[in-house]
């Protein structure tokens, strides 16, 4: 079952408080998304560490309910 954009946004808003999150459905199929995430908590962290924080906020749904997520992360 695919995830809705609002569900992804809610998980990221909860897991990364104060983050600016923009989700785009890349293929119009509800399975392939892009996420642009800007968050103070990313400051000083490597891109890998930033992505790990996003995956943690998704609470294990990446690779299951959430099939594909292209990430662009940065600190403000």
Partners of residue 48 on adjacent β-strands: none
Provide the number of structural domains found in the chain. 1
Range of the domain at 20: 5-74
pLDDT in tens, 23-67: 999 988 888 999 999 999 999 999 999 999 999 999 989 888 888
The pLDDT of residue 70 is 96
Domain CATH number, residue 34:
3.30.300.90
The pLDDT of residue 67 is 85
Assess contact for 29 and 57: CB atoms under 8 A.
no
- Does the pTM surpass 0.85? The reply is yes
């Amino acid at each position: 079952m695919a995830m809705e954009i609002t569900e992804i946004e809610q998980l990221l808003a909860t897991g990364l408080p104060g983050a600016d999150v923009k989700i785009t459905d890349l293929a119009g199929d509800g399975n392939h998304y892009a996420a642009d995430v800007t968050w103070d908590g990313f400051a000083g962290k490597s891109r890998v560490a930033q992505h790990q924080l996003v995956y943690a906020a998704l609470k294990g749904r990446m690779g299951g309910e959430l099939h594909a997520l292209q990430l662009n992360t940065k600190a403000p």
